[in-house]
Amino acid sequence: QMTKALLEGEAFEAFLREKVAALGTAACPPYRLAVVVGGTSPEENLRVLKLATTELLDPAPYMDEAPQKAVAPGQEPRWLCRDRYWESILMNIARESGLGAQFGGSLLALDARVIRLPRHAGSCPISIGVSCSAHRNMLAKINKEGLWLEKLEQHPLEFLKAQGGNAAQVAEAYLRTGAIRAGQRAERQGGDSETRAVVEAASVRKINLDRGINEALQDLRGAAAGDRLLLSGYLLVARDAAHLKWHEAIQRGEPLPEYLTRYPIYYAGPAATPEGKVIGSFGPTTAQRMDSYGDELMSRGASLITLAKGNRTKAWVSACKTYGGFYLGTIGGAAALIAEENILESEVLDFPELGMEAVRRIRVQDLLAFVIIDNQGRDLYNPAVKASGR
């Protein structure tokens, strides 16, 4: 709940910059961003926000077709309208944040919607929300003739042909575009792209996890936020349910399982294992959900090396600095590839009743990762670290 003074141009832009920066990367960018200003009640505002993130309100009219013109306070619409000017500003803010998924952090958002609603003179509810890259929404239509549910594409080959060819051709075209962008960035930063690729490959640090957690920590102590790694050896796989069980054991005064102090922990839950495969699709889950367990685990020699995706809270950063821990990021969106190319073995160690959330031990080879938080408390997502060029 804000006041209409926030709708002045500079104030509203500063507000958006603050809130976009606070979103972080935990919700799986690139995002579909939505901001809703106004509404006759907070409940109406939030209901419209949900619809805006699902793209259902995209056909709404624009308040002004000229994107250069900001809508002044007091000129709110009679009913729901999109604000083209602030949508363009919001996209620029997202690009400039440097928090995005790829291309130098430019893809925090795929698109943005700013919705304006009528409001009471003494009230100005404002909300901001996202839909993650998975975009888990299904549409249904119900009328007197029956019920229709949205379904996944049943003929993907025909769909891909409409996009320009088969799966390989569509992917190749996309990757070719990305390679061109990468080459352009390399030229701007000095040196040709081939030379930079050789230099970057040489800078990847290999970590042998089979030597034990203490040796792995020693190897990592020379690494800083932003450094790239190739991991080989054994890892634990655990996420929300297992962490809760460990927390409950601590509350009861029981010792933690011995395996927790032997291996790094990868936050993940694999899909069902296909016949003849080592493991099902395997990708990192969002790290922040485990942050409340940081101090109690690290102080007991556990979780000193963790792997997942997304930024972490200040509490976790502080725990890494206090106990010498490292948080490593791994690639999201490549779960099937990781399972096929990087995981050699998999076995359930504990809590088999948890199904896909059971504690597993996996053996990996050349798993690509990068340091997000180092043992000095330097955070890759901290603007000061990003500004240093790391």
pLDDT for residue 322 is more than 90: yes
Question: pLDDT-derived band of residue 1, with 50, 70 and 90 as boundaries?
Answer: confident
The residue type at 371: V
**Of the residues 156, 184, 202, the one at which a domain ends:** 202
Per-residue pLDDT tens over the stretch 139-162: 888 999 999 998 877 787 777 778
The verdict on 223 and 351 lying in the same domain is yes
pLDDT for residue 248 is more than 70: yes
The verdict on 222 and 296 lying in the same domain is yes
d(CA 310, CA 273): 26
Q: What pLDDT, on a 0 to 100 scale, did the predictor assign at position 180?
A: 40
Of the given ranges (21-35, 58-72, 264-278, 292-306), which has the lowest mean pLDDT?
58-72
- Full domain range(s) for residue 338: 204-387
Residue 146 domain-assigned (yes or no): no
Provide the 8-state DSSP code for 60. Answer: S
Q: What is the mean pLDDT of residues 56-81?
A: 67
Percent of the chain with pLDDT over 90: 48
Question: pLDDT-derived band of residue 320, with 50, 70 and 90 as boundaries?
Answer: very high
The verdict on 90 and 62 lying in the same domain is yes
| CATH code at position 288 | 3.20.130.10
The whole-model pTM stands at 0.71
Provide the 8-state DSSP code for 357. Answer: G
The residue type at 198: V
CB neighbours of residue 315 within 10 Å: 12
The verdict on 221 and 174 lying in the same domain is no
**pLDDT, mean over the chain:** 83
Dihedrals phi, psi of 259, to nearest 5 degrees: -65, -25
Q: What pLDDT, on a 0 to 100 scale, did the predictor assign at position 291?
A: 95
Per-residue pLDDT tens over the stretch 191-204: 444 434 433 444 78
Q: What pLDDT, on a 0 to 100 scale, did the predictor assign at position 54?
A: 87
Residue 148 domain-assigned (yes or no): no
Residue 35 domain-assigned (yes or no): yes
The verdict on 130 and 114 lying in the same domain is yes
d(CA 302, CA 306): 9
The verdict on 188 and 225 lying in the same domain is no
The verdict on 278 and 185 lying in the same domain is no
**Of the residues 202, 217, 245, the one at which a domain ends:** 202
d(CA 343, CA 359): 16
pLDDT for residue 169 is more than 80: no
Would you call the peptide bond into 29 cis, given omega within 30 degrees of 0 as the criterion?
Answer: no
Question: pLDDT-derived band of residue 243, with 50, 70 and 90 as boundaries?
Answer: very high
The dihedral formed by the CA atoms of 316, 322, 325 and 331, expressed in degrees to the nearest 10: 30
If you count DSSP H runs as helices and E runs as strands, how many of each does the chain have, helices first?
12, 13
Task: Name the residue among 52, 86, 59 with its Cα closest to residue 72.
Answer: 86
The verdict on 180 and 263 lying in the same domain is no
Residue 129 domain-assigned (yes or no): yes
d(CA 76, CA 310): 37
Per-residue pLDDT tens over the stretch 84-112: 889 999 999 988 887 776 545 677 888 89
Residue 160 domain-assigned (yes or no): no
Per-residue pLDDT tens over the stretch 331-375: 877 788 888 889 999 999 999 999 999 999 999 999 999 999 999
Number of domains in the chain: 3
**Of the residues 137, 156, 187, the one at which a domain ends:** 137
The verdict on 225 and 349 lying in the same domain is yes
Residue 157 domain-assigned (yes or no): no
Give the H or E element holding residue 349.
Answer: strand 343-350
The verdict on 212 and 110 lying in the same domain is no
d(CA 243, CA 315): 17
Residue 177 domain-assigned (yes or no): yes
The verdict on 186 and 226 lying in the same domain is no
Burial label for 143, CB within 10 Å (0-12, 13-18, 19+), is exposed
Of the given ranges (85-94, 205-214, 231-240, 375-384), which has the lowest mean pLDDT?
375-384
Residue matched to tokens 């050896």: 233
Question: pLDDT-derived band of residue 311, with 50, 70 and 90 as boundaries?
Answer: confident
The verdict on 197 and 229 lying in the same domain is no
Residue 154 domain-assigned (yes or no): no
CB contact at 8 A, 359 and 253: no
